Amino acid sequence: MARKKISLIGGGQIGGVLAQLCALRELGDVVLFDIVEGLPQGKMLDIAEVGPVDRYDVNLKGTNSYEDIKGSDVVIVTAGLPRKPGMSRDDLIEVNSKIMTSVAEGIKAYAPESIIIVISNPLDAMVTLCQKITGFPYNRVIGQAGVLDSARFASFIAWELGVSVKDVTAMTLGGHGDDMVPLVRYASVNGIPVTELLEQKYGAEKGKEVMAAMVKRTRGAGGEVVALLKTGSAFYSPASAAISMAEAILKDQKRVLPTCCFLQGEFGVNGFYVGVPAVLGEKGVENIIQFKLDAEEQAMMDKSVAAVKELVGSMK
């Protein structure tokens, strides 16, 4: 069986980690594209040369030519500038829209059958623009934000309760912004509601305060890393998050993962990309999982969707 092919558009901080993770997991042959001469070629040579140690048999190629992405099954896009301290994700929209336009044109021309996972920020706007320019079906253009935001929420819960991260499930909905919706009611430790465990540990009121603090930290987690790094934003975590989505597609795993999908009525949203739980398989988004939100969750979701609509509306 022929190996799958993954192309990574953007060979910066996240792109380099994506390339190494693809190799380590032997997901397929990997092409790393960037506009900077030598950058993708150098990173791919570096990863390739340690193959005997990390024991992966995949072809790794760095390039400055879109020609090389031909035949890609999955394309992951990180091209774009990251935030600096004090910047919001939305501050990137103008410069990254220009970059995304050229990237989407390149993918449309050379990998018209691929499934695209967008990472570039502001995510909800960039995935919208990517789909518009490529004209690909909505199920083949998705965004990565929710897997990362949900992982952050789950980590904070695991650290607070002193349990393994392997046993916490937690999910966020909505946009990849300060209004994202960490779903408190559905957070669990092997099915046991986190709210119940917090109440046992702290009592009802304090338990609610501790949860509220974790929700707040989840919403601000990207900014917390940016403030510490000072030179850019998180890159290990978004790379791993995107790889979990790529792997679900490449191996047709039918994973249910929080995914920035184009909604056509789901959760009362029509015509916008928003983070929701989706079944990811060989066709990309194969189903969107819907479920009832309570009044408080619906209000938060509406607020987050309104922020997405405003952001997308601000794109020229």
CB of 98 to ligand TXD, least distance (A): 8
What are the residues whose beta carbons fall under 8 Å from the beta carbon of 27, sequence distance 6 or more? 4, 6, 58, 243, 246, 247, 250
Residue with tokens 């607070």: 160
CB of 162 to ligand TXD, least distance (A): 27
Nearest residue to ligand TXD, scored by beta-carbon proximity: 12
CB of 310 to ligand TXD, least distance (A): 19
What are the residues whose beta carbons fall under 8 Å from the beta carbon of 54, sequence distance 6 or more? 23, 24
Q: Which is nearer to ligand TXD, 96 or 304 (CB)?
A: 96
**How remote is the C-alpha of 197 from its chain's centroid?**
29
How far apart (Å, rounded) are the C-alpha atoms in residues 50 and 81? 29
* DSSP conformational letter for 122: S
Q: What is the dihedral of CA 152, 153, 159, 164, to 10 degrees?
A: -90
Q: Which is nearer to ligand TXD, 126 or 184 (CB)?
A: 126
Question: Which of 30, 76, 33 lies closest to 57, judged by CA?
Answer: 30
CB of 241 to ligand TXD, least distance (A): 6
163 flagged as catalytic: no
**Which of 5, 83, 176, 255 is an active site residue?**
176
Q: Which is nearer to ligand TXD, 115 or 197 (CB)?
A: 115
How far apart (Å, rounded) are the C-alpha atoms in residues 150 and 218? 8
CB of 179 to ligand TXD, least distance (A): 16
User: Cα(first)–Cα(last) distance of the chain, in Å?
Assistant: 44
CB of 296 to ligand TXD, least distance (A): 26
How far apart (Å, rounded) are the C-alpha atoms in residues 25 and 10? 20
Phi and psi at residue 235, to the nearest 5°: -140, -30
Q: Which is nearer to ligand TXD, 7 or 188 (CB)?
A: 7
* Residues contributing to the site for ligand TXD (CB under 6 A): 9-15, 34-36, 39, 78-83, 92, 96, 99, 102-103, 119-121, 123, 144-145, 148, 176, 232-235, 238
SS3 state at 74: strand
Phi and psi at residue 136, to the nearest 5°: -65, 155
Tokens read off for 77: 């896009």
Query: What positions carry a catalytic annotation?
Result: 176
